[in-house]
Amino acid sequence: MREIARLPKAHLHVHLESTIRPDTLREIAAANGIEPPGPAPERFAGFRAFADRGARVRACLRRPEDFARIAREFAADEAADGTRYAEVTFSAAAHGERLGDARMPLEAVLSGLAHGSAAHGLHTRLILDHSRRRPVQRARRTLDLALEHPEHVAAIGMAGEESHPLAPFAEVLAQAARAGVHIVHHAGEAGGADAVAEALDTGAVRIGHGIGVLGDAAVVERVRAQGVALEVCCSSNVALGFAPSLQEHPLPRLREAGLSVTLNTDVPDVARTSLTGEYERVRAAFGCSDTEMAAFARTAVAASFAPAQLKRGMEADIDAWLAGGPA
C-alpha cells in the first residue's frame, strides 16, 4: 500500500481552535493568566459538554500573538502531514466580540497563516462560522468580516446545535450569496436529513458532516443531483457519539448512495488524529484500496474553493502518487 502521508490532500473541515498544540495552549494560557482545560476525553457526555470545553480553549486566546501563533503552527503541522491545501474554520466574530476588538482576531490569524503557509508551501483559505445559538447581529458581523477579506475568506456558515433553526439567518445568508460568498453549513451531524435539506434551502454549496442525510431518500437524491459534497469526519463523529464506532460509521453507505464524500478531522484535539491519520483509519476500518484513497483526495480537491490552477496541479500529483506504485 502506498504511503498516505505522501498523498496530496485537501483539508476542508477543521476548526482552528481545535488544532492548537498542547504545549502551545499551556504556554498561551499561562501568559494570559488562564487555567487551560485538560486533554479532551475519549467520549463526551453530549454535544454541550464538547462545546463547553471548546469555549474554555477559546477563552485562552487573548492577544494578537496568540492567534497568529496558532495559525502559523497550524500551517506547519498541516504541511508536515501532507496537506497541500486547507480551508480552516475560525469563529472570528465571536472572538472579536469577546475581546472587544472586532477585527483583531481575524487579522492576526490571517497574518499567521500567511507566514506559516509561505514557510511551508501550504495554501490556505478561511471559513468563518457562526453558532446557530447566537444572535443574528453577530452573523452579520461574520459576513462583514468575510467581505473585508475576499481573497482569504472562502465561505461563511452556521455551526452548533442543529435544534436551532437557520430561518433567523436567512437574510444574512441571502446577502452572502448575492455577494458571491460561499455558504457551508454544519448539518446532518446530530440532525437528520431535514437538517441537510434546511442547509440546502439556505444556499449551502457543501455540507459539514451530512451523515444524517441517509434518513431520507429524496434528500439523498437532492444532494447527489446538486453535486453537493459532504465533509465527513468519521473519528469526530465517534468521539462525539454520533456514530457508535468507526467500523459502524455510515461512510460506506454514503459512498454507495453515490454522494461526493471527503475525509476531514473536524476537531483534531478531540478526534486524536491528523488528516493522514484519518485516511489511514478509514483505510484500515473499511479495507479501502489505494485507488479509493486517491478518490477521496480527488473529491476533496474538486469540492474545494482552491484556485483552478492549484486544483489541476494537485489532481496531477494525486495521479502520480497512484501511478508510482507502493511507497
Handedness of CA 237, 240, 244, 245 (dihedral sign): positive
Positions marked catalytic: 189
Is residue 204 a contact partner of residue 227, using CB atoms and an 8 Å limit? no
Alpha-carbon Rg for the chain, nearest whole angstrom, is 18
Burial of 186 (0-12, 13-18, 19+ CB in 10 A): buried
Handedness of CA 105, 108, 112, 118 (dihedral sign): positive
Phi–psi pair at 267, nearest 5 degrees? -130, 85
Handedness of CA 176, 84, 267, 99 (dihedral sign): negative
CA dist 264 → 83, 205, 307 (Å): 11, 17, 20
In this structure, the number of other CB atoms found within 10 A of the CB of residue 272 comes to: 15
CA dist 293 → 9, 173, 204, 254, 276 (Å): 10, 34, 26, 15, 11
Pairing of strands 206-209, 123-131: unpaired
